[in-house]
Chain A
Amino acid sequence: MLEIKNLHASVEDKEILKGIDLKVNAGEVHAIMGPNGSGKSTLAEVIAGQEEFEVGEGNILLEGEDLEDLSPEERAHKGVFLSFQYPVEIPGVSVTNFMKTAINESRKAQGLEDMPANEMLKKIREKSEMLEIDRKFLSRSLNEGFSGGEKKRNEIFQMAMLEPKLAILDETDSGLDIDALRIVANGVNKLRSKDNAIIVITHYQRLLEYIVPDFVHVLYNGKIVKSGTKELALELEEKGYDWLKEEAAV
């Protein structure tokens, strides 16, 4: 599904990603952990095509296709989805209208007609019920005045609506209380299939109890310094990151 080879990325001449290798197969869930400022969000945004970052060496392949020359929206049309760490507000644009536009733009790119209104409504109803989202919420302006938790839940609602091939969830757990966390994690689990892949970025082991990863990677100072199975997450929870920092420094 996704293959990243020796990826370097910088912003304003400051190198943030310093050679990342990562392979994610269809049907897998990978977790990326690591201390603040290590480059997790940068990696997520570079995959999504954020042009603010300059990609030096390296490649990102999605189903064998190099993404280098594709714009963010083209990557989205190919099935890349990013649940943002900090979702932005768009005043005056309702969640429903935003989703309608997003879905129809992707369909247009695939040469399809707009989704018929009744089909759209059915889908909205289904996905909002799955994530226990109040219908009134969907007519509110996108993220405007949403609580931290509401924003994150709304990101996962969008994921459910768009049904991406590769979903990257950047600290989706922050801001969620325990009940919301369970609902969101359940939603994500329902979206798991053998045809798609999910990358979960998180600080805490807590989320990984609900969304159980196949692999765990530790990103530190722009590099993946350790990879393992879900037990690695437990180890990190216990010991913190310092031992890895020391290891990486050698």
Chain B
Amino acid sequence: MAYTEEELKKELETKEYEYGFYTDIESDTLPKGLNEDIVIAISKKKEEPDWMTEWRLEAFRAWKEMEEPEWANVTYNKPDFQDISYYSAPNKKPKYNSLDEVDPELLETFKKLGISVDEQKKLAGVAVDIVMDSVSVATTFKKTLAEKGIIFCSISEAIQEHPELVKKYLGTVVPQKDNFYAALNSAVFSDGSFCYIPKGVRCPMELSTYFRINQAGTGQFERTLVVADEGSYVSYLEGCTAPSRDENQLHAAVVELIALDDAEIKYSTVQNWYPGNDEGKGGVFNFVTKRGLCEKNAKISWTQVETGSAVTWKYPSCILKGDHSIGEFYSIAVTNNFQQADTGTKMIHLGKNTKSTIISKGISAGQSQNSYRGLVQVNSRAENARNFSQCDSLLMGNRCGAHTFPYIEVKNKTAQIEHEATTSKIGEDQIFYCNQRGIDTEKAIALIVNGFSKEVLNKLPMEFAVEAQKLLEISLEGSVG
């Protein structure tokens, strides 16, 4: 951002007042537990229209009848859903008064990621005077977008201001009853993002949730809806590389992407939730449902770098409904210590001449378990569907595990499906070779891991890729010894 500190200060002084989101909802928390009254209360607090309340209730009723899935290759103590508070308004009060009070380990990580002091304060929840706050940046950001007719706001705001769009698309790709976590999210989602790109518009900048207004307190049950109208293009970045500590153990987000005819959506994620300590205590459970729908000639690319969370359950998918549509999935999943990840994708080929590509790179260290689970399904009407899948696993040490579960269902003879899988280990001999050239072990591992992940890192927007690369190094620090 080409912004001077002064300009920012001024902007914020005026705008914060104007956009006073945080007024009078401070420390406003609903009692623990989940029932219809709570769902209604959440909807009320957000001043939602009746159709939205009803939509949530439908989801809740479905959820009550559902069971938590057990097929994933992960084990954890199931959360007690009646012991969670489902609505906690954004808290304005800073957690700390100065950086001295923040966990030094966290600060060390910030430093390694090259995050500025002001940003560090913001991320750690330290009281900030007037510094680069996302609110003011987002405001100017929004103005540029508005000129092109692009809508980028919180989903709550969208429900108020653009109900026709939300009503038309919400739940069309991930229905309320889709799965246990999606149903839970649909009933209680606190906030999230909404984005609409009008016909034929190429969004001029990467849309980043990082700069979205009203960021605070949306983490636990986030809901994202991105609609790219005919012939439009958008690149969307989710998450940030800074470690996110969160007291909320359970995270169940839903992301829906809709790419209408000839549209393209690039959705990139860096996920770095707290993974728990090196003994496997604590850490976030991340159960995400992400799915995109491609109409004719449309294209959706998911790119993800997953390094955080104690347990990850996540399968960004594409429904290739329109003829000639394209789905892509590029993923790097890192697990260390006692982390468990079960992630992959589903490519559902419905239209003719549809194409999908899956590149998955799993890196496991410590005593972690890393599973790839993918489904390629070719419907009977999907003439000439093509898929290429490549799943590579890299192991560090002898105590971790890598697993691959590729499922292929083909109902049309013209389909061409290719699947390749490799498993390799970082060898002592590779490390010694690097050492001999003057490269220490830590750096050698980073080099080898980056080499292994290159095809996916290359798919990320430039700046994000550099950050992601550093993040990989940090995630694996101390994993060989």
Minimum CB–CB distance from B178 to chain A (whole Å) comes to 36
B432 touches A50 (CB 8 A): yes
- Does chain B have a CB within 8 A of A109? yes
Residues on the A chain within 8 Å of B452, using CB: 91-92
- Does chain B have a CB within 8 A of A71? yes
How far is B452's CA from A162's CA once the two chains are assembled, in angstroms?
A: 25
Residues on the B chain within 8 Å of A158, using CB: 437
Known: A93-B448, A98-B447. A105 touches B436 (CB 8 A): no
- Does chain A have a CB within 8 A of B46? no
Known: A72-B432, A87-B433. A92 touches B439 (CB 8 A): no
Q: Which residue of A lies closest to B422 (CB)?
A: A91
Residues on the B chain within 8 Å of A49, using CB: 435-436
Q: A80-B436, A105-B440 known; 18 other A-B pairs, CB under 8 Å? A: A49-B436, A73-B435, A73-B436, A73-B440, A76-B438, A81-B436, A87-B433, A88-B433, A90-B434, A93-B448, A93-B451, A101-B439, A102-B434, A102-B438, A105-B437, A105-B438, A141-B451, A162-B438
A84 touches B437 (CB 8 A): no
7 contacting pairs across A/B (C-beta < 8 A): A71-B435, A76-B437, A80-B436, A92-B452, A93-B451, A105-B439, A109-B438
Residues on the A chain within 8 Å of B454, using CB: 92
Residues on the A chain within 8 Å of B440, using CB: 71, 73, 105
Q: Which residue of B lies closest to A75 (CB)?
A: B436
Which chain B residues (415-455) contact chain A, with CB distance < 8 Å?
A: 424, 427-430, 432-441, 443, 447-448, 450-455
Q: Which residue of B lies closest to A45 (CB)?
A: B432
The 8 A CB mask of B266-291 against A (1 = contact, 0 = none) is: 00000000000000000000000000
A92 touches B450 (CB 8 A): yes
Q: Which residue of A lies closest to B453 (CB)?
A: A92
Residues on the A chain within 8 Å of B435, using CB: 49, 71-73, 76
How far is B431's CA from A76's CA once the two chains are assembled, in angstroms?
A: 14
How far is B453's CA from A92's CA once the two chains are assembled, in angstroms?
A: 8
The 8 A CB mask of A212-225 against B (1 = contact, 0 = none) is: 00000000000000
A90 touches B448 (CB 8 A): yes
How far is B429's CA from A101's CA once the two chains are assembled, in angstroms?
A: 18
Residues on the A chain within 8 Å of B436, using CB: 48-49, 72-73, 76, 80-82, 84
Residues on the B chain within 8 Å of A48, using CB: 436
Q: Which residue of B lies closest to A106 (CB)?
A: B438
- Does chain B have a CB within 8 A of A52? yes
B453 touches A102 (CB 8 A): no
Show the binding face of B for A, using Cβ within 8 Å.
424, 427-430, 432-441, 443, 447-448, 450-455
A-B complex: 3 closest residue pairs judged by Cβ atoms: A92-B451, A93-B451, A72-B435
Residues on the A chain within 8 Å of B430, using CB: 88-90
- Does chain B have a CB within 8 A of A77? yes
B439 touches A102 (CB 8 A): yes
Q: Which residue of B lies closest to A80 (CB)?
A: B436
How far is B435's CA from A105's CA once the two chains are assembled, in angstroms?
A: 10
Residues on the A chain within 8 Å of B455, using CB: 92
A88 touches B427 (CB 8 A): yes
Which chain A residues (84-138) contact chain B, with CB distance < 8 Å?
A: 84, 87-93, 97-98, 101-103, 105-106, 109
Minimum CB–CB distance from A218 to chain B (whole Å) comes to 26
How far is B442's CA from A71's CA once the two chains are assembled, in angstroms?
A: 13
Minimum CB–CB distance from A240 to chain B (whole Å) comes to 32
How far is B455's CA from A103's CA once the two chains are assembled, in angstroms?
A: 25
Which chain A residues (35-69) contact chain B, with CB distance < 8 Å?
A: 48-50, 52
Give the residue among A52, A82, A87, A91 with the most B Cβ atoms within 10 A: A91
A101 touches B443 (CB 8 A): yes
How far is B434's CA from A235's CA once the two chains are assembled, in angstroms?
A: 38
Minimum CB–CB distance from A47 to chain B (whole Å) comes to 10
Minimum CB–CB distance from B393 to chain A (whole Å) comes to 13
How far is B441's CA from A89's CA once the two chains are assembled, in angstroms?
A: 16
The 8 A CB mask of A149-172 against B (1 = contact, 0 = none) is: 000000000100010000000000
Residues on the B chain within 8 Å of A141, using CB: 451
How far is B438's CA from A80's CA once the two chains are assembled, in angstroms?
A: 9
How far is B451's CA from A90's CA once the two chains are assembled, in angstroms?
A: 7
Known: A88-B430, A158-B437. A93 touches B443 (CB 8 A): no
Minimum CB–CB distance from A233 to chain B (whole Å) comes to 27
Minimum CB–CB distance from A56 to chain B (whole Å) comes to 20
Q: Which residue of A lies closest to B392 (CB)?
A: A91
Q: Which residue of B lies closest to A77 (CB)?
A: B438
How far is B63's CA from A222's CA once the two chains are assembled, in angstroms?
A: 72
Minimum CB–CB distance from A158 to chain B (whole Å) comes to 7
Known: A92-B453, A93-B450, A101-B443. A84 touches B438 (CB 8 A): no
Q: Which residue of B lies closest to A72 (CB)?
A: B435
Residues on the B chain within 8 Å of A73, using CB: 435-436, 438-441
A162 touches B432 (CB 8 A): no
Residues on the B chain within 8 Å of A87, using CB: 433
Give the residue among B437, B453, B455 with the most A Cβ atoms within 10 A: B437
B443 touches A105 (CB 8 A): yes
Minimum CB–CB distance from A123 to chain B (whole Å) comes to 15
